[in-house]
Structure 1
Amino acid sequence: MDKNCLNYGIEISDSDWEGTPASVRQLVEKMGQHIQKSDQELADLKAQQQELLEKINRTSNNSSSSPSSDPPSAQKPTEKKKTGFKRGGQPGHKGHSRFLYEPEDCKEVLNHRPETCSCCGEKLSGEDADPYRHQIVEIPPISPIVIEHRLHQLECLSCGSSTRAILPVDVNPSGYGIRVVALVAVLSGLYRHSTRMVQSALADVFGVSMSLGMVTKLRLEASDSLESVVSEAKIYVQNSPIVGADETHFVQGNIDGCNEKKSQAWLWVGVTPLVVFFQIALSRCSEAAKNLLGENFCGILNSDRYAAYNWVGLGQRQLCWAHLKREFIKISERPGVSKEIGNALVKQQEKLFELWHRVRDGTLKLVEFQLLAQEIRDSIKSSLQEVANHEIGSREKTPLAKTVRTCRQILKVEPALWLFVTAEGVEPTNNAAERAIRPAVIWRRTSFGSQTYKGSTFVARMLTVVTSLKSQRRNVLEFMTKAVDAARKNRPAPSLLPEGNTSDEQVINAV
């Protein structure tokens, strides 16, 4: 402890300090220690306050939280500018009329002809070559088709023993046909109904009575019929040139003893334009990511900055700018240097996406965009480096310390931010994977996950089938019926891969 410990700007000569009574010097030392401790506590409180403020102000704009979790204060209604036009379709707009069935698909066609003129009352005759068509669509009463098999038992006249007939080989012992199994799977996987809701829908709509246990049993049969289908889809995704990946937490119970450690389950997704693959694993580590993408993955990975994907080289990665934008906004909401750098980063990001949208619209050539993007890249990198050069303590929790750590982390993967500028077909965001995983999140919230490994497998397989078929505009119920029928007859299952010569670009343009 020295004579200037209190740092009040008052200098005391060595002789005066030496002449100060020992009790006074001891008191000064204790006061200095107390002030240092108070300063440290104040700094910690400010850091805690800033951390709490960030939590309070957390929205979908500055974090990975969903928009549905935003507080009312963050949900600002968008004010549309008045155009002066009336509501509805504008002149020149191509209208959309109701879908009409072909005449041959109609059960009955009734022609109605006016008898007299609505103006003068004269009788009318002749034919209208193009009459106005109005169709009434009705659903016939639905009743199940029940085929009863009676297994007779006969007694042998020679030995007296009784023998009962057995079911034919092509008759399934479950008591339900392939369309019922397919419908149970679709109601569960596509429409995300619970076991009890599936039971109720079958009874109310189709007149099919079924126990809750049988609903589960038919789900598992449908899941088993999709094993080879989903395996083929997995290989397709792993060998695709561009794959989007994402993951979200899932709940898997331990009723069957397959999750004795009661580990947190994770739902992973690999996305291509036409085929999507889901898997559920009891881990969020690199091994699960390798199982999703394949250990020898050679394509381009579009994902967020989660560390489980770090085994993929930076030259093969495009990191999501939507996640990066939220990081920049979070930095801009902190005080001091963080606010200035954050605002600069947000402006550069907005400028980059404005140019990117012009490239997609065809109003800016790719070569020009690449030159302008290089200027933006240099500016962003310079801003990140400026903050990263600040000296901070290893345990410092100030807003600036958080910003410094974030900027250093981004700089480590900075080359993976710009692949979309030069590689054709690569998007700057991971929105495709996030859109694909959203129905799974809704399913998780309504079902609270699964209780067994087989239940998780059913979820992953149905999500794979439903999402892929929707991308290809194929009928899910029809596909599931074929899959169950093929499994019961030991025939090859239908393929989930794109039919014919349809290319990814053709499907995207059609959508």
Structure 2
Amino acid sequence: MEENSLTYAIEISSWDWEKTPASVKQLVERMRQEKKESEQRLADLEAKYQELLEKINRTSKNSSSAPSTDPASAPKQQKKKKSGFGRGGQPGHKGQSRLLYEESECNSVIDHQPKVCKCCGEKLKGVDSNPYRHQIVEIPPINPIVVEHRLHQLECWHCGTLTRASLPADVPARGYGVRVVALVAVLSGLYRHSTRMVQSAMLSIFEIRMSLGTVNKLRFEASDAVESAVLEAKTYVQNAAVVGADETSFCQGNVDGCNAKNSQAWLWVAVTPLVTFFQITLTRCTDAAKNLLGENFSGILNSDRYSAYNWVDTQQRQLCWAHLKRELIKISERPGVSSNIGNTLIQQLEKLFALWYQVRDGTLSRDEFPQLVAPIRSSIISCLQEAADYEIGSQEKTPLAKTVRTCRQLLKVEPALWLFVTVADVEPTNNAAERAIRPAVIWRRTSFGSQTTAGSHFVLLMLTVVTTLKSQRRNVLEFMTQAISAKRQGQPTPSLLPQVPAPAVAVKNAA
């Protein structure tokens, strides 16, 4: 029975109510209270149902979950329509062929000349100045180069003391050369091999025997060799004009006693076009973000909306629209008003990116872009404000309440959504940082993280070195060899910073 009907039936008039027996009054009050409690329980159950429904329907499209975690029931990506063309290169496509080594790089060159004509059998004459080149690449048998140093011990004729010779200064005390140490580091850091896999590869491919403990010692030697270069890279990134940042969970054990609370470790990345820096911490707080970017960071930060970056002014931030799109899809999948709000915002987002693709492809000028974005921005702000104006309780957990809170949060950081419109080198998404952190995620999954602080330190150093060198198209093994050699000889470590090409030297009339 509705409350109004109940009131009408019993509270016909104030005089009747006053004459109503106390027992009836108590019954009515109890019924009112029970009805109110039932309505509250129903609202709580509805909110819980919507919360569980969101969890069940969570996919990579409406959350930060990886595509590999999508349930089987998740809608699959629409397949592209068949073009009607056959497989392979199409007419007009510039083909790709095998790259040949220069003649100076060949160990030998063998010329083959035909003897007679394939048509009539007569002898041939002339010289072919442009013969067809066919190269065979082979790897010679790999045998380690072993140099034995024998330290003799001789007796003094005067006092009888035994004296043993010492190793020369240029001979390392460790029993492995710089290229072996560099190779162990590359197998671990670039190809993400485990300790046993590195041990197996060194034996089966290079016939070099080493224990598991030796593999770790060589890794730590490699870490020491690139330490200063990585610190230099960190300074470079912190002073860059535009930096992309992201973070992901990482596992660090307590074998060395440095993680007694078994805290969750976090791997952070800061990305620039040519230099990338990684760090691993036992916290995901603001202090870790400041250590990554530098407390005096003055560049532009491209990141998601994680609160640890909120100390950076909104005028210096570009929030990731890819993350925002997933949030809007989640809102659009909620019932009622939330669905309308989410769909409206997604429509404006699609208009925005249609323009952005034209700018990226060169079909729309940068000067026209801000003018065309202005009405889209105004529509998005209006929609967010309309949603934020809904009255909700502080503890309310309904789908609409979640939508309203999200829209209010977006309004606070709204200026940080549009920096890419006016600054040429800023991207609207944080894809660069997410691509950079992907190898680290694979490393974490295959190795289950690290067991010590030193192990985590090796991971962050090698990730920094490998990612930076790959972005500059430099050889990782060559760099590691140079760094380890320099460390053993007490020389400066080679730099990870972009190499400035030497200025061209003018050559006077050579003729």
Query: TM-score range, shorter-chain basis?
Result: over 0.9
User: Which residue of structure 2 aligns with residue 490 of structure 1?
Assistant: 490
Tell me the amino acid that sits aligned with residue 354 of structure 1: A
User: Which residue of structure 1 aligns with residue 315 of structure 2?
Assistant: 315
2:193 & 2:5 partners in 1: Cα distance?
A: 71
For the 8 Å contact 2:300–2:316, the answer to whether it is kept is yes
Q: CA 1:41 to 1:361, structure 2 compared with 1: closer, same or farther past 3 Å?
A: same
For the 8 Å contact 1:115–1:125, the answer to whether it is kept is no
Tell me the amino acid that sits aligned with residue 348 of structure 1: Q
User: Which residue of structure 2 aligns with residue 353 of structure 1?
Assistant: 353
Q: CA 1:135 to 1:7, structure 2 compared with 1: closer, same or farther past 3 Å?
A: farther
2:149 & 2:217 partners in 1: Cα distance?
A: 21
User: Which residue of structure 1 aligns with residue 61 of structure 2?
Assistant: 61
2:9 & 2:296 partners in 1: Cα distance?
A: 66
Deviates more, 1:477-486 or 1:41-50: 41-50
User: Which residue of structure 2 aligns with residue 395 of structure 1?
Assistant: 395
For the 8 Å contact 2:237–2:275, the answer to whether it is kept is yes
User: Which residue of structure 2 aligns with residue 275 of structure 1?
Assistant: 275
Aligned partner of residue 368 in structure 2, secondary structure:
helix
Per-residue CA deviations over 1:461-490 (Å, capped at 9, x if unaligned) read 111110000000000000000000000000
Once the two structures are superposed, the pairs formed by residues 84-483 of structure 1 within 5 Å of their partners are 84-483=84-483
Q: How many residues align?
A: 501
1:195 & 1:143 partners in 2: Cα distance?
A: 22
Q: CA 1:252 to 1:9, structure 2 compared with 1: closer, same or farther past 3 Å?
A: farther
Tell me the amino acid that sits aligned with residue 358 of structure 2: R
- 1:9: Cα distance to partner? 9.3
Tell me the amino acid that sits aligned with residue 73 of structure 2: S
Tell me the amino acid that sits aligned with residue 110 of structure 1: I
- 1:417: Cα distance to partner? 0.6
Aligned partner of residue 35 in structure 2, secondary structure:
helix
2:405 & 2:6 partners in 1: Cα distance?
A: 32
For the 8 Å contact 1:5–1:29, the answer to whether it is kept is no
For the 8 Å contact 1:3–1:12, the answer to whether it is kept is no
Q: CA 1:357 to 1:113, structure 2 compared with 1: closer, same or farther past 3 Å?
A: same
User: Which residue of structure 2 aligns with residue 73 of structure 1?
Assistant: 73
User: Which residue of structure 1 aligns with residue 509 of structure 2?
Assistant: none
Q: CA 1:50 to 1:7, structure 2 compared with 1: closer, same or farther past 3 Å?
A: farther
For the 8 Å contact 2:479–2:494, the answer to whether it is kept is yes
For the 8 Å contact 2:11–2:17, the answer to whether it is kept is no
Aligned partner of residue 343 in structure 1, secondary structure:
helix
1:3 & 1:309 partners in 2: Cα distance?
A: 50
- 1:10: Cα distance to partner? 8.9
Aligned partner of residue 366 in structure 1, secondary structure:
coil
Tell me the amino acid that sits aligned with residue 335 of structure 2: P
Per-residue CA deviations over 1:188-212 (Å, capped at 9, x if unaligned) read 0000111110000000111110000
1:495 & 1:8 partners in 2: Cα distance?
A: 86
User: Which residue of structure 2 aligns with residue 34 of structure 1?
Assistant: 34
- 1:293: Cα distance to partner? 0.9
1:215 & 1:492 partners in 2: Cα distance?
A: 25
Deviates more, 1:70-79 or 1:36-45: 70-79
CA RMSD after TM alignment: 1.8
- 1:263: Cα distance to partner? 2.1
For the 8 Å contact 1:6–1:32, the answer to whether it is kept is no
For the 8 Å contact 1:4–1:11, the answer to whether it is kept is no
- 1:85: Cα distance to partner? 1.9
User: Which residue of structure 2 aligns with residue 507 of structure 1?
Assistant: none
1:100 & 1:466 partners in 2: Cα distance?
A: 27
Amino-acid identity (%)? 72
Deviates more, 1:450-459 or 1:158-167: 158-167
Tell me the amino acid that sits aligned with residue 203 of structure 2: A
Deviates more, 1:278-287 or 1:205-214: 278-287
Aligned partner of residue 244 in structure 1, secondary structure:
strand
Per-residue CA deviations over 1:369-397 (Å, capped at 9, x if unaligned) read 11111111110011111111111111111
Per-residue CA deviations over 1:67-102 (Å, capped at 9, x if unaligned) read 121123336143222323222111111000011111
Q: CA 1:333 to 1:101, structure 2 compared with 1: closer, same or farther past 3 Å?
A: same
Normalization by structure 1: what TM-score? Answer: 0.94
2:33 & 2:284 partners in 1: Cα distance?
A: 46
Tell me the amino acid that sits aligned with residue 302 of structure 1: N
Q: CA 1:468 to 1:408, structure 2 compared with 1: closer, same or farther past 3 Å?
A: same
For the 8 Å contact 1:281–1:288, the answer to whether it is kept is yes
Deviates more, 1:183-192 or 1:123-132: 123-132
Q: CA 1:225 to 1:347, structure 2 compared with 1: closer, same or farther past 3 Å?
A: same
Normalization by structure 2: what TM-score? Answer: 0.94
Tell me the amino acid that sits aligned with residue 187 of structure 1: L
Task: Give the unaligned 5+ runs of structure 2.
Answer: 503-511
Per-residue CA deviations over 1:107-132 (Å, capped at 9, x if unaligned) read 22222233343344444333322222
